[in-house]
Amino acid sequence: MISKKIISKQKPHGFTIVELLVVIVVIGILAAITIIAYTGITARANTASGQTAANNVMSKVNTYMVDGPTSKVPTTYGSLTNAATTTSYNLIGANFTTISSAASAASGAMTSAPSTANTIDFWLCGTGSAAAATTYGTVTVQTGIKVGYWDYGAGAVNTTIAVGATSGTYTNGYAITCYKAGIADSAIAVARAIYNESGTNTWPTTAAAINANTATTAKLPTGMTVGITAPTSGNGTNTVLFQCGTAVAATLPCNNTGGRIGFWDYTLGTPAVVYEVFGTATNFATPLS
């Protein structure tokens, strides 16, 4: 009897549409989990970098209060970034936001994530007078400093790091206020330092005098220039306009009543040059240098 082998021949087949869809869905879920995890890790890392920079700034502020020329909080962040490398309070590794205006002071400065995680908002806190204690740019008795860094998880500026008195009242009963210090404020701080250190209560009458950066108690931020040409959108982040006080409107020579600093304000609906006045000057003209 002859036995016959029955050989079963099956044709190979590929994945069904349902199987492919299942695979695609699984891959999509895994990719989404990976992206979310990576985004969270990146956000935490950037936030940590900003917080480290902020803590470093305040550490240098504390050191400045001990080793600096005034035994007080610095009047500009340039007093730290432009300090000699031989000083204990020389600051590196932090960038500062530079736009300054009444609008940015009221809104809390940074409103979106900066281009670098170590970008810091620098706020001056103190009091001016009973009538002007809460007016932007009028702090004359400085009581403290606070800094802000971008929290990438919360999507907002964190300004909890502070030195000195940043709220409450000063000993004279005036309310303490804080406003963002930018490039205009730095130029004015240097002008005031020149006035106070001159021995003759003389305001600078040229842009060159401010750029010389010879004042001890205040310094211009690194890379900043005070000029005699109005800033534009192209140079407004590091250049300001200096105009001196004159005896007659728009005429030279300058007198010693003060002046004003013009800067390009990006926070306005239509960005433009705005001014901050220092001293008692009411008439202004652009000096020759």
Domains in the chain: boundaries: 17-181, 183-289
CA 237 to CA 282: how far, in whole Å?
26
* Residue 133 token pair: 């204690």
Q: How many CA atoms lie within 13 A of 208 on its CB side?
A: 3
177 three-state secondary structure = strand
Contact 262, 239 (CB under 8 A): no
Collapse the DSSP code of 113 into the 3-class scheme (helix H, G, I; strand E, B; otherwise coil) and give the result.
coil
Identify the pLDDT of residue 14.
65
Phi-psi bin for 173: left (phi > 0), alpha (psi -120 to 50), beta? left
pLDDT for res 134: 39
Q: What is the pLDDT of residue 136?
A: 42
Judged on CB neighbours under 10 Å (0-12, 13-18, 19+), 192 is buried
C-alpha torsion angle, residues 208, 214, 220, 224 (rounded to 10)? 40
Tens-digit pLDDT profile for residues 6-49: 555 555 566 677 777 877 888 877 777 777 666 678 888 999 99
Query: Can you spell out the DSSP letters for 18-83?
Result: HHHHHHHHHHHHHHHHHHHHHHHHHHHHHHHHHHHHHHHHHHHHHHHHHHSSSSS--SSTHHHHTS
pTM across the whole model: 0.75
Find all residues with CB under 8 Å of 67, minimum gap 6, and list them.
87, 88, 89
3-state secondary structure 186-250: HHHHHHHHHHHHCCCCCCCCCHHHHHCCCCCCCCCCCCCEEECCCCCCCCCCCEEEEEEEECCCC
pLDDT-flagged residues of the chain (< 50): 102-104, 106-107, 130-136
- Contact indicator for 159, 146 with CB cutoff of 8 Å: yes
Q: Tell me, what's the pLDDT at 284?
A: 92
pLDDT single digits (tens) 184-205: 888 988 998 899 898 888 999 9
pLDDT of residue 100: 56
Name the nearest CA neighbour of 102 among 226, 265, 245: 265
Token reading at 47 = 């936030």
User: How far is residue 151 CA from its own chain's centroid?
Assistant: 15
